């Protein structure tokens, strides 16, 4: 699926099986094809862009808005996109906080790749991004997402009724977070 003719940007974090790189406009075809393949996995929790037009505006925000940092999760074996972890709503000053949005693509789900990626994202957030806190707001029925953040060392801070508008209605969310003082999630041996 990756276009061999398009030079790849360098990875900014690497684990044993996945590496992270920024979003590019040139990723539209691969990303949207994977999103369309993954609708059954993502619904009703997540609605990533699955058309070129939707991808263009989604990627523009992640590329240009300093309040966001998008990580494409790539398999080191072959470089294909396995999923994404975006740090959104970055607030600086005395908060130094970002809110996570993430999804695996179906062909790559359930193999531990997102757990490895989230550990890299937490390290990147508390290192180069200079954040102090990452939040994940998750619907109570989303067992896979709750398991992912629990495994990564996030703690449950609370429960907010009607917190976010998802799939046509205001949905209750559990609020999970990790701060820089907490133990980092387990990471594989760094490659470099």
Ligand X SMILES: CC(C)(COP(=O)(O)OP(=O)(O)OC[C@H]1O[C@@H](n2cnc3c(N)ncnc32)[C@H](O)[C@@H]1OP(=O)(O)O)[C@@H](O)C(=O)NCCC(=O)NCCS
Name the pairing type of β-strands 97-104 and 133-138.
parallel
Per CB under 6 A, 109 contacts ligand X: yes
Per CB under 6 A, 187 contacts ligand X: no
Q: Does residue 101 have a cis peptide bond before it, meaning omega lies within 30 degrees of 0?
A: no
Question: Cα dihedral angle (130, 74, 38, 164), rounded to 10 degrees?
Answer: 0
φ/ψ of residue 9, rounded to 5: -70, 160
Residues 145-164 that bind ligand X (CB under 6 A): 145, 147-148
Nearer to ligand X, 4 or 111 (CB): 111
Residues 120-139 that bind ligand X (CB under 6 A): 138
Number of residues this chain uses to bind ligand X (CB under 6 A): 20
Classify residue 160 by its DSSP letter.
E
CB 183 within 8 A of CB 153: yes
Please, what is the angle between helix 28-37 and helix 52-64, to 10°? 120
Q: How far is the CB of 166 from ligand X (least distance, A)?
A: 9
Per CB under 6 A, 1 contacts ligand X: no
- Biggest distance spanned by C-alpha atoms of the chain: 48
Nearer to ligand X, 130 or 191 (CB): 191
Q: Which of these ranges, 18-26, 86-94, 106-114, 123-131, lies near ligand X under the rule CB under 6 A?
A: 106-114
Residues 45-104 that bind ligand X (CB under 6 A): 45-46, 102-104
Instruction: Tell me which of 41, 54, 164, 187 binds ligand X, using CB under 6 A.
Output: 41
In 3D, which of 188, 110, 115, 98 has the Cα closest to residue 152?
115
Nearer to ligand X, 26 or 106 (CB): 106
Nearer to ligand X, 13 or 114 (CB): 114
Per CB under 6 A, 110 contacts ligand X: yes
Q: Left (φ > 0), alpha (ψ -120 to 50) or beta: where does 167 sit? A: left
In 3D, which of 28, 29, 81, 82 has the Cα closest to residue 56?
28
Per CB under 6 A, 33 contacts ligand X: no
Per CB under 6 A, 114 contacts ligand X: yes
Binding site for ligand X (CB under 6 A): 41-42, 45-46, 102-104, 109-115, 138, 142, 144-145, 147-148
């Amino acid at each position: 699926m990756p276009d061999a003719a398009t030079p790849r940007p360098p990875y900014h974090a690497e684990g044993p099986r996945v590496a992270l790189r920024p979003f590019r406009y040139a990723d539209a075809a691969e990303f949207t094809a994977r999103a369309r393949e993954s609708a059954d996995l993502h619904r009703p929790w997540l609605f990533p862009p699955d058309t070129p037009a939707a991808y263009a505006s989604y990627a523009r925000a992640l590329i240009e808005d300093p309040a966001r940092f998008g990580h494409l999760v790539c398999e080191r074996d072959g470089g294909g996109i396995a999923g994404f972890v975006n740090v959104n709503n970055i607030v600086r000053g005395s908060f130094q906080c970002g809110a996570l949005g993430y999804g695996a693509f179906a062909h790559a789900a359930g193999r531990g790749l997102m757990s490895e990626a989230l550990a890299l994202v937490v390290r990147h957030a508390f290192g180069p991004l200079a954040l102090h806190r990452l939040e994940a707001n998750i619907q109570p029925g989303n067992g896979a997402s709750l398991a992912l953040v629990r495994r990564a060392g996030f703690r449950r801070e609370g429960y907010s009724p009607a917190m976010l508008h998802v799939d046509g209605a205001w949905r209750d969310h559990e609020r999970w977070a990790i701060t820089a003082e907490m133990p980092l999630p387990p990471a594989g041996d760094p490659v470099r």
